[in-house]
Chain A
């Protein structure tokens, strides 16, 4: 196959746009993993649950899918707070959270997946929105809106989160809880309450990411599994808990994946994320923006 200039540019654009979406999908996991020490391996599956909820809302009320995702964030926020409470009660408090906590989320992931299969079947589902089928063409260069709109949404979401973490009291407390939960108690802030809020936010981000998933591609219950590797590759590569790192890592991954697809072949691209992850873990475990 000859690699033409427009092909390359289109691959780069698609990679950049996918990277933005990957960042939105990973941000919840990186908050939970990097800042709260909760390895929520089920995060991509939570996003798939969000995507199915968006599908139902879109079909029933004819609402825009991304608006549906936004409407779902309070529900996911509350569910996340509840889930954190359960996690805290059974794992964190006992002090042996890492292993059993991981097994807990691993189990939850399969429960959610089977529940989705039983209620929606394994057919591919998709939503209706005018921009999904539209592509803007600039000569030979194409800008598919089904990728561009989630990209814009992702960028907005990450900017909001970054501002929240940097400027508000709760946001700063979330960053602080990662560094020293005891110090937080000295200034009369409950680390458990802060972590609950943070985990709620992480889960709320899954609702929006779910809306992006179903806008980008048709949905089926097991799709969450395909994202686990990418999400954790981005978390680790970006340096845990760092939002700028998450964006850089996600966009690099999107670009590398798309380049790998055109230069090596699509069948090799799943290994790219994991290759990056393994290499990062082996040689620079603190990631690009890690606090060592």
Chain B
């Protein structure tokens, strides 16, 4: 599908999803749906670097939380509204991604993974010690009951995240089918060979880290309003990383569809499990599925379906 058509299709799907949700008009649905959509963004973003390029980012929470804290900082400084802080969050997290990539991408992939983990803790320490955005005590960002245009505030947040999610999927699709995507795949398959045949590997990897980081920042930007109270320890939680990676890997990492499928399935199961059983069981389910899939079905659900259809 061409990019233009895909954009129209994505917009149509998003409109239908919002139409159904608005018609049902259950506030809890917006509340739970927001989390599912947030993971669609995170998994698609992670996959641009992790799936297409083959570099594992374990520091997802750093980019995500930086997005959230960009919103807090801009709200405190100039009372900027959410639609303005989302692009700002993308810029901040994208730049951090770029810097991160510049420092570490000359190394083997595995060192990059460890370095991203380190980045998460370093940024967490900075935020914890930055009193302007609340420091370790956290920051309150109380939102009005009603959204600025219509409906409840949850509905408004849901709509914003839906737009960001559709945008991420469109970006992931466009990247996959462009010269960027082919370059990324070449890097994943054999970096030395790619370099030798003239693929500008370092520059491409920087594009991937920057883009992936920027999208993660956008996923985090509305979080302060969603949780009302933002503090570093839970915003930088490693659980965001394992959830995101599990979703992308369970869905399948080679296409834009995999993270979307994985995130929608797994995040929905998590929302149900949190309500019906406990929030601990969530992480257990994610861990078991991640381990099971990487062992038995390394190409994820999309890979399994593709094999089945070919037979």
- Residues of A participating in the B interface, judged by any CB pair closer than 8 Å: 39, 41, 86, 90-91, 94, 96, 98-100, 102-104, 106-111, 113-115, 117-118, 225, 228-229, 232-233, 236, 265, 267-268, 270-271, 273-275, 277-278, 281-282, 285
Report whether over half of chain B's contact residues are helix, strand or loop; otherwise say mixed: helix
22 residue pairs bridging A and B, Cβ less than 8 Å apart: A100-B298, A102-B113, A106-B242, A106-B290, A107-B290, A107-B291, A107-B294, A109-B287, A110-B286, A114-B283, A115-B284, A232-B117, A267-B128, A267-B129, A274-B118, A274-B122, A275-B122, A277-B115, A278-B104, A278-B115, A281-B107, A281-B118
- Residues of A near B124 (CB, < 8 A) are 270
Q: Please name the 6 residue pairs, one residue from A and one from B, whose CB atoms are nearest each other, closest first.
A: A107-B290, A274-B118, A271-B125, A110-B287, A111-B287, A107-B291
Task: Decide if B114 touches A117 in the complex (CB within 8 Å).
Answer: no
Say whether A104 contacts B280, CB under 8 Å. no
B138 surroundings in chain A (CB, below 8 A):
none
Complex Cα–Cα for A109 and B241 (A): 12
Closest to B103 in A: A282
| CB-contacts of B98-121 with A (<8 A) | 103-104, 107, 109-111, 113-115, 117-119, 121
Interface size, chain B (Cβ < 8 Å)? 44
Q: Is B132 in contact with chain A by the CB < 8 A criterion? A: no
Known contacts A99-B56, A281-B104; decide if A110 and B114 are in contact (CB<8 Å). Answer: no
Q: How many A-B residue pairs have CB under 8 A?
A: 121
Determine the chain B residues whose CB is within 8 A of the CB of A104 once the complex forms. Answer: 290-291, 294-295
State A168–B125 Cα separation when bound (angstroms). 44
> Known: A110-B284, A270-B124, A282-B104. Contact between A103 and B294, CB under 8 A?
yes
On whether the beta carbons of A108 and B104 are closer than 8 Å, the reply is no
- Tell me whether B107 and A107 are in contact (CB under 8 A): no
A236: which B residues are within 8 A, CB to CB? Answer: 111, 114
CA distance A106 to B289 in the complex (A): 12
Bound complex: CA A270 to CA B126 (Å): 10
A183 to B149, CA, bound (A): 71
Q: Are the CB atoms of A278 and B291 closer together than 8 Å?
A: no
Check B284 against A98 for contact (C-beta < 8 Å).
Answer: no
Known contacts A99-B109, A285-B111; A271/B54 CB under 8 A: no
B129 closest partner in A (C-beta): A267
On whether the beta carbons of A110 and B242 are closer than 8 Å, the reply is yes
Residues of B within 8 A of A106 (CB): 58, 241-242, 245, 290
Identify the closest chain B residue to A89 (Cβ): B295
Whether a CB of chain A sits under 8 angstroms from the CB of B216 is: no
Report Cα–Cα, A7/B277, bound state, in Å: 50
A98 to B161, CA, bound (A): 33
For A275, list chain B residues within 8 Å (CB).
Answer: 122
In the complex, which of the residues A90, A107, A225, A265 contacts B287, with contact meaning CB atoms closer than 8 Å? A107
Verify if B249 is at the interface (C-beta below 8 Å from A): yes
Nearest chain A CB to B135 CB, angstrom units: 9
What's the nearest-Cβ distance from chain B to residue A40, in Å?
Answer: 11
A108 and B291 form a contact (CB under 8 A): yes
For B298, list chain A residues within 8 Å (CB).
94, 96, 100
Interchain CB contact under 8 A, B103 and A278: yes
Q: Are A102 and B110 in contact (CB under 8 A)?
A: yes
How many Å from the CB of A184 to the closest CB on chain B? 23
B128 adjacent to A114 (CB under 8 Å): no
A111:B103 contact, CB within 8 angstroms: no
Instruction: State the Cβ distance, B256 to closest chain A Cβ, in Å.
Output: 19
Do A111 and B291 form a contact, CB below 8 Å, given A103-B56, A271-B126? yes
Rounded to whole angstroms, the CA-CA distance of A109 and B284 in the bound complex is: 10
Chain B min CB distance to A222 (Å): 9
Asked if residues A274 and B121 are in contact (CB atoms below 8 Å), the reply is yes
Q: A45 to chain B: closest CB distance in Å?
A: 11
Beyond A267-B136, A277-B114, A282-B104, whether A114 also contacts B280 by CB under 8 A is: yes
Question: Is A90 a contact partner of B115 (Cβ separation < 8 A)?
Answer: no
Contact A114 B287 (CB under 8 A): yes
B295 in complex: contacting residue of A90, A117, A274, CB < 8 Å:
A90
Contact with A along B36-58 (1 / 0, CB 8 A): 00000000000000100010101
Q: Is B311's beta carbon under 8 Å from chain A?
A: no
Which residues 79-111 of B sit at the A interface, judged by CB distance below 8 A? 103-104, 107, 109-111
CA distance A285 to B56 in the complex (A): 18
Q: A274-B119, A281-B115 are in contact. List 11 more A-B contacts (CB 8 A).
A: A41-B58, A103-B56, A107-B246, A110-B242, A114-B287, A268-B129, A270-B121, A273-B121, A278-B103, A278-B122, A281-B107
For residue B127, give the distance in angstroms from its CB to the closest CB of chain A: 11
**Nearest A-chain residue to B115, judged by Cβ:** A281
**Cβ–Cβ < 8 Å partners of B119 in chain A:** 274, 278
Least Cβ–Cβ distance between A232 and chain B, in angstroms? 5
Q: Closest CB-CB distance, A114 to chain B, in whole Å?
A: 4
CA distance A229 to B291 in the complex (A): 22
B238 is an interface residue with CB less than 8 A from chain A: yes
Once the chains are docked, how many angstroms separate the CA of A225 from the CA of B118? 12
- Nearest CB in chain B: distance from A13 CB, A: 25
